[in-house]
Structure formats: C-alpha cells, structure tokens
Amino acid sequence: MDNYKPPFHMTDKMTSLIAEISEQVGRIIVLQEGVINPRLRRENRIRTIHSSLAIENNSLSLEQVTAIIDGKRVLGNPNEIKEVQNAYDAYLLTLQLDPSSVEDLLKAHKLMMNGLVPENGRFRSEGVGVFDGDVLVHMAPPAELVPKHIHNLFEWYRLSELHPLIKSAVFHYEFEFIHPFSDGNGRMGRMWHSLLLGKWKELFFWLPVEELIQSRQKEYYAALGAADAQSDSAVFVELMLEIIRDSLKELTVVGRNTDQDGDQVTDQDKSATGRLLSVMGNDALSASELMQRLGLSHRPTFRKNYLNPALEQNLIERTIPDKPNSKNQKYRKCR
C-alpha cells in the first residue's frame, strides 16, 4: 500500500456532527423509521438518480425521470434518457455490490456509462483535467497511476480505524481527486459513498443524500476545490457530514408523514398543500418565493411535502409547463 494515507485531520466540528448523526440514526432505528417501506425506497432511489444526474447537468425533471423508470416514453435528449436508464440499472445492483471490491466498482461504472463513453467499465487511458469554464481547477494524476491509486485507496479504507462517517467522506474526496474514469466520476463517487455508508447502516442505502448535495451544489464543488488548495480534505468532510445530518432529518420528517403501508397521511397532506395555497394567493411565484412565504429553508422538504403533492393533485400549475427546470419557472393556482 506504500504507506498510503490521505491528507486529512479531525476537527471539533466533525466530532460534534458524528455525535449528532449517530443520535439521529439510533433514534430512527429505535422508532423503526429506518425500516423504509418498498414504495418509499423506490421514491428515494428515483430522487437519488434525478439529483445525481442533475448535478452533472442532466436537464430531465423528476417527473420525467420517474416516467422513464416506469418504462414510459419521454421526449428529451436521448443521451440524458440513457443516463437515467443506466443509473437505474447501476443502482439496482447496490445490495449486491461489495464496496471494498475494485472489480465491483468497474462493474458498476460499466452499467452507469454504458453507451455513453467508449471506456465504460475501464479506468481512463489518458490524462484528464477538471475545468470551470476555460480555467483548469484540477489536474488529475496521470492515467498510468490510476490503478495503483485506486487500489491504495480501497486498501486504506479497509484498514482504517476512522469512523465510517469520516472515512467514507475522505474516500469520496480522494476518489474525485484521482478521477479514475474518463467520465462519470461524480456520479460514481457519490454512489460509492452511499454504498460505503450502507454497509455501515442499511438505511443509508435508501437515503437520498444526492438530493441535498444538489441543493448545495456550489458549496459541494467549492469544498472540493478548497480541499485541493489546502491539501487536506477536512473542509469537504465537514460539508458531507452536514449534508448527511440534514438528509436524516428529511427522512425523519417523511417517516412521520407516512403510515405503515406507505400511504401519505391525508390530514397532513391537506395541511401542507393548504398552507401552500394560502400563502400563494392569486400570485405566480417562484419556488424560492414560495419557500420564503412558508418560512422554509430546506428545498428538498419543500418539494417533497408541499410543491410535488400540490402539482400531483392539480392544485397548482407551472407557468412554463414545457420546461419544468427553467430558471424562470413560477407556480400558480390551477385555473
């Protein structure tokens, strides 16, 4: 392993976040909120796929992603549709994959990037850089060193005595630093992070961490850049722990709003959509404006408990229906 040790130091903030997350996990398990029913598992899996691909600039909406996975015809960019189909196939393997196996990593990448890149299922054969516009922000290690770096990283994870919450986040950062593939590094790094956590506590297999990453996408990339500049992944680890904590809070909220059969509790649904309609009035408002009127700051919770149910029940409509992800999108009561 060549005494491989990722550059990283523990901070008081990490210690505090680990305690908070561990308490949340324990409470969820004790209250049996961690036993996620099949319907919610599927919904969370779809949300995970949508968010992870959206981070990579896939423009398909959550509704379109759901339709594709349901086998329905969707009008859209063929490559983006293929990305959804591939990601679903890859995530179906989650429970069968061994996160300590490099072979399984390559198997998952082969599915994830099938028909999208020539080197799917193989480490890159050329150098690669990460650009922000025309500016090079990260130059990955030479291609000939990738297999050695990846094997060292996997072996370090296996032997490390750090808490799984910490070492999985360090793994995530180091994976992105190595950038082992010609494409698909972001989605594979996020998937493997969840897989490592799932081997620690099963509920993480079904936790849509990617949705929170998407909502804090600028911070996510800024933390990767800061870790590069400081040669220390601590800032990235702290951010990932915050995201995991907030994802668990989201799961707890959903768990309380769901009965044992997975059907949403009608009174609570009515309460949420009723509040939304009340604050909306006769105005056409953006998602941010609606959240402000509702006093909410957590976008995934707003979409899950307020916006999506109101859309599904045809209580509200988009002002630009043919472009669900438009930056100018607003919502109004159905006429």
Residues 6+ apart with CB under 8 A from 60: 50, 53, 68, 74, 76, 77, 80, 81, 84
Q: Does position 258 have pLDDT exceeding 60, yes or no?
A: no
For the chain, what percent of residues have pLDDT higher than 90?
A: 59
Positive/negative CA dihedral, 289, 45, 240, 148: negative
Q: Are 164 and 143 in contact (CB under 8 A)?
A: no
State both tokens at 314.
Answer: 């045809």
- Asked whether the predicted pLDDT for residue 108 surpasses 90, the reply is yes
Average pLDDT, the chain: 87
| 130-134, 267-271, 314-318: range with lowest mean pLDDT | 267-271
**pLDDT recorded at residue 35:** 52
- In order of start, what are the domains of the chain with their CATH numbers? 12-256 (1.10.3290.10), 266-333 (1.10.10)
What is the average pLDDT across 242-266?
Answer: 62
pLDDT digits (tens, 9 = 90+) for 128-162: 877 767 777 778 899 999 999 999 999 999 999 99
φ/ψ of 10, rounded to 5, equals -75, 150
Mean pLDDT of 181-205: 93
Better-predicted residue by pLDDT, 324 or 162: 162
pLDDT at 34: 45
C-alpha pair distances (Å), 55 with each of 42, 173, 184, 211, 216: 20, 16, 11, 9, 10
Which residue type occupies 86?
N
* pLDDT at 3 > cutoff 70: no
* Tens-digit pLDDT profile for residues 202-250: 889 888 888 888 888 889 999 999 999 999 999 999 999 999 998 888 7
Bridge partner residues of 139 (DSSP): 129
pLDDT band, very low/low/confident/very high, at 270 (cuts 50, 70, 90): low
pLDDT for 52 beyond 50: yes
What sign has the CA pseudo-torsion 63, 65, 70, 73?
A: positive
